[in-house]
Amino acid sequence: MTDDTLAPAGFWRRLWAKCLDISILFFPAAFFFIFMKLHFVCLILFIIGGWSYVGKLTAKRQATSGKGMAGVYVVRADNGQIITKHQALARYLLVYLPLMIFILTNATIIDLASEKNRGKHTEQEKQAIEELYNAEQQAPETLLQMIINDSIIGYYLLMACMVAITKQKRGFHDKLCNTRVIRGKLAKSI
């Protein structure tokens, strides 16, 4: 393959593809997370459903639905061929696992805000929920929660900067998994 067929996908195109993919994954998980308070189900849905969507599609078709709509594809960095299932799984975990951890560490605040806005409570229940919500909002974050949140935000900023600034437009997860995201045509299998 020539370098022309392996032109790297730029930051904005990759961001658009990621937004499309997250919206496809987010809505089913949000139902279980916010409305049903089933955090464990949400985590399982995100892991299994996300792997089925992101990992398997990337390994089989070189693109998720979002990447396909944005015209970008994932290939092996060394030869431009289709990535393996192991590379797809590693990419999935490196991108989405920190997001899952971030959401679960902040689940209490999300739950209280959701419960507060539900509206089907007696006055006494509303007052108790309001007090819990205000106490949670005023309570200082634990040191561990601050470290986790700041680390995850920093991790995503590092990935974004690597894609935006580097010549090959490869993020941290791309380098670790020996992959590239290209724009244009699909690669042929080996």
Q: Over the stretch 77-99, which tens digit does the pLDDT of each residue have? A: 888 888 988 898 888 888 888 87
Contact predicate 126/139, CB 8 Å: no
Contact 59, 88 (CB under 8 A): yes
User: What pLDDT is attached to residue 190?
Assistant: 47
Instruction: Determine the pLDDT at residue 4.
Output: 53
Instruction: Give the number of other CB atoms < 10 A from CB of residue 142.
Output: 10
Which positions of the chain have pLDDT values less than 70?
1-5, 29, 32-41, 106-122, 124-126, 129, 132-142, 185-190
pLDDT of residue 60: 85
Please name the amino acid found at residue 18: K
Looking at residue 133, what is its pLDDT?
A: 63
Taking Cα atoms as reference points, which of 96, 90, 111, 107 lies closest to residue 45? 96
pLDDT tens digit string along 91-120? 888 888 887 777 777 666 555 555 555 556
The per-residue pLDDT for 73 is: 92
Cβ within 8 Å of residue 15, ≥6 positions away: 160
Asked if 184 contacts 75 with a C-beta cutoff of 8 angstroms, the reply is: no
What pLDDT does residue 72 have?
A: 92
